[in-house]
Amino acid sequence: MSVTDEIKSRLDIIELVSQTVKLRRTGKNYSGFCPFHPNSRTPAFVIFPDSGTWRCFGQCNEGGDIFKFVMKKEGWDFATTLKYLAEKAGVVLEPPNPARQAEEEEHSRLRALLEDAVNFFRHNLLNTPNGKEALAFLQHRGLQPATIETFGLGYAPDSFNAAMQYFTSKGYTQQELLDAGVATERQGGEAPHHGGEGVYDRFRHRVMFPIRDMAGRMAGFGARILRPDDVPKFLNSPQTPLFDKGHLLYGLDQARKPIRAQDQVVIVEGYLDVIVLHQGGFTNTVSPMGTALTEDQLRLLKRFTRRIVLALDADAAGEKATLRGLELARQTLNHVDELVFDARGLIRHEARLQADVRVTTIPAGMDPDEVVLRDPEEWRKILASAQPVVIHVMNTLARSRNIDDPKTKSEIAAQVMPLIADVPDAVEREDYRQRLARLLRIDERALTGGSPAAHPVGRRSGRRGAGAVGGSADKAPVITVQNKSFELETYCLRMLLRQPDTLYLLDRALQHAGLSRLSQQDFEHTDHQLLARLIFQSLEQEDHDPIQYIHQNAAGSLNALADDLLKPFERGEPTSEKLREELVRTVLQLRSEHIHQGIEQIRFLQEDLQEQGEMSLGPYQELFIQYMQSRDKLDRALAQPLQFE
């Protein structure tokens, strides 16, 4: 994979563009007002997530990928853009050299070998007597001929050298066969089973499943036994330059468009589960190939959807894999904007949930493919009844246990409460706590107090809940991850501290857009409010330079905060013109974020009122209208060119 491809695979074009462009989903694509020319009537700017590209169908009539967008937006050349996006994606840039070019050519050669291997194994499945057993196995599992063709399934002959002879006759070397994972080498001390040769076919008498990366390029193989006594049951390609199991998801090359279209991905355990589900019309299905989900796999999925359903097998190993996957999914996706703490350790805001991770309950003794073959509608109902993470864990732990036993109650609470403590949304935490109390038939207060080792979950304290009744006495680590409004406030103050006089130009631009001047109330975090007030005061006095005044009057942590915000930008200091433009855009985005949070809160209150039989917003109606009017005004301001005079 080239460096640019690596960067594109790690960065989501939707996330990057939405930092400066208000996007709206239209089918499987996203549209908005083009940021490169004035236009507030027709959203002619479109992003195509499947291809990772954008295009303006208006005045610009331009388009491109994530690189072209940043180059046009920032006015940078390709080298600067490459460095910026590589740093953002966590990709290490290496200068071009003959060795790198040779490596790319080698990878291309290995992919060609693997494509030839697909044809070799497919021929053996469909056109040889020995392949009939494998074909009968696939047909017995419910696969249709068109499905076998679509997924390129094959058969590895029951031989130690059939593949070796075939590929060497086509000009491939023994080393290339080893590098591609088609052949394997006898380890020291291992007795040869095939005439004494040190290198032999890796896959023998197995059904072959080609594994492709997200772009559809061959990466390796998965192989399943046909003889019950053979081991292991499933054998994958070894770690190679192309095959890294933790970075791949089986079926994603065919599922990515359906996942985007349905805004949901279903994760199952096995190859056949994926294939049969696709055959049955459930084409948004992928598999981590029998392992726990990795952060890289979830990063891939996050590019297409944040609605994840884990539909793993119901046996003991599947249940453990489910819980492992849930834990990683929670850490990787749900906590993009975790709990937010101000300088005094008090919780000010909580992040919105960044992924909806749910778990299915599959009938005991069955696999997903068996359910779909028996009744597709049954599978559809199973997906529809998938449960949120915490509820699934509660029910799993309580299943087949005597919850009337006080010890059992304590054990379940000790395992579930840390999960509840990790949920970033306060309303969800409260709901889960109430559910757990009802499940255990105890007073909810027993879950939030009662033990010196337990920290009340969801209270406005300076640390996350450390645990539960009967849990460890160790204190939970202090987490200091900021949310979007915190980051916007920080960025705004960084620019104001550099050039406090820019405040006058900012206020003028806001007034041109029909908006109020910047005030202390635009900042929600206490330290930010205090620092903003000092900046305003520094411009009202004439005895000292503004920065000098701020440092003289900022006490303790506030002075340290000012020093930290004045540290150089990683990409270099902005010009005066760039700074004032960024400042205005940041303030507009900050206000938009505050309004969005307010609207979401009112919508929650509306649901609460509806549950009580009240169909109107009641006392919140006027506030809701004000929010909507303010949002429209901000949207217009964000879509218009800035005016400072």
Work out the pLDDT band at 353, boundaries 50, 70, 90. Answer: very low
**Is the confidence at residue 638, as pLDDT, over 80?**
no
Q: What is the pLDDT of residues 276-301, one digit of tens each?
A: 999 999 999 999 886 666 667 777 88
| DSSP track, 53-70 | EEEE-SSS--EE-HHHHH
Look up residue 620 and give its DSSP letter.
Answer: G
**Is the confidence at residue 344, as pLDDT, over 80?**
no
Cα three-residue angle 120-122-124, rounded to 5 degrees = 70
Higher-confidence residue of 574 and 350: namely 574
Q: Which fold has domain 98-186+195-243?
A: DNA primase DNAg catalytic core, N-terminal domain (3.90.980)
In whole angstroms, give the CA distance from residue 182 to residue 193: 18
Domain edges within the chain? 3-89, 98-186+195-243, 252-385, 484-639
* Selection from 353, 237, 252, 241 nearest residue 293 by Cα: 252
**Is the confidence at residue 91, as pLDDT, over 50?**
yes
Higher-confidence residue of 633 and 117: namely 117
Residue range 484-639 in CATH 1.10.860: yes
Work out the pLDDT band at 613, boundaries 50, 70, 90. Answer: low
pLDDT above 90: percentage of residues in the chain: 26
pLDDT above 70: percentage of residues in the chain: 78
Work out the pLDDT band at 9, boundaries 50, 70, 90. Answer: confident
Task: Give pLDDT, residue 188.
Answer: 53
Q: Looking at mean pLDDT, say which of 123-137, 234-248, 629-643 comes out highest.
A: 123-137
CATH number of 3-89: 3.90.580.10
**Is the confidence at residue 158, as pLDDT, over 80?**
yes
**Is the confidence at residue 573, as pLDDT, over 50?**
yes
Helix 426-440, helix 406-422: angle, nearest 10: 170
Work out the pLDDT band at 131, boundaries 50, 70, 90. Answer: very high
Give me the mean pLDDT over the 142-150 stretch: 96
**Is the confidence at residue 626, as pLDDT, over 50?**
yes
Q: How far is C-alpha 502 from the chain's CA centre?
A: 37
Write out the two tokens for 187.
């380890």
**Is the confidence at residue 558, as pLDDT, over 80?**
no
Task: Give pLDDT, residue 452.
Answer: 31
Phi-psi domain of 97 (left: phi exceeds 0; alpha: psi -120 through 50; beta: other):
beta
Give me the mean pLDDT over the 524-529 stretch: 74
Work out the pLDDT band at 539, boundaries 50, 70, 90. Answer: confident
Q: To the nearest whole number, what is the mean pLDDT of the chain?
A: 78
* CATH fold match for the domains 98-186+195-243 and 484-639: no
SS3 286: strand
Q: What is the pLDDT of residues 170-205, one digit of tens each?
A: 999 999 999 999 999 876 544 445 444 589 999 999
Q: Looking at mean pLDDT, say which of 215-219, 426-430, 466-470 comes out highest.
A: 215-219
**Is the confidence at residue 525, as pLDDT, over 80?**
no
In whole angstroms, give the CA distance from residue 149 to residue 154: 9
Task: Give pLDDT, residue 207.
Answer: 98
- What are the C-alpha distances in Å from 433 to residues 392, 455, 607? 14, 14, 20
Task: Give pLDDT, residue 252.
Answer: 94
Task: Give pLDDT, residue 22.
Answer: 87
Among 77-86, 233-242, 313-322, 511-520, which is the least confidently predicted range? 313-322
Q: What is the pLDDT of residues 357-406, one digit of tens each?
A: 788 878 878 889 999 999 999 999 999 988 887 787 788 778 777 888 88
| E strand intervals along 83-217 | 154-156, 183-185, 199-201, 206-212
Among 79-93, 465-479, 532-546, 601-615, which is the least confidently predicted range? 465-479
Total-model pTM:
0.58
Element (H, E) at 538: helix 526-540
Give me the mean pLDDT over the 226-234 stretch: 92
Give me the mean pLDDT over the 306-321 stretch: 60
Specify which residues 208 forms β-bridges with.
Answer: 154, 223
Task: Give pLDDT, residue 263.
Answer: 86
SS3 329: helix
Alpha helices (H) along 221-375:
252-262, 271-279, 295-302, 316-329, 368-374
CB 6 within 8 A of CB 89: yes
Task: Give pLDDT, residue 608.
Answer: 53
Work out the pLDDT band at 349, boundaries 50, 70, 90. Answer: very low
Give domain 252-385's CATH architecture. 3-Layer(aba) Sandwich (3.40)
Backbone angles phi, psi at 535, to 5 degrees: -65, -45
**Is the confidence at residue 271, as pLDDT, over 90?**
yes
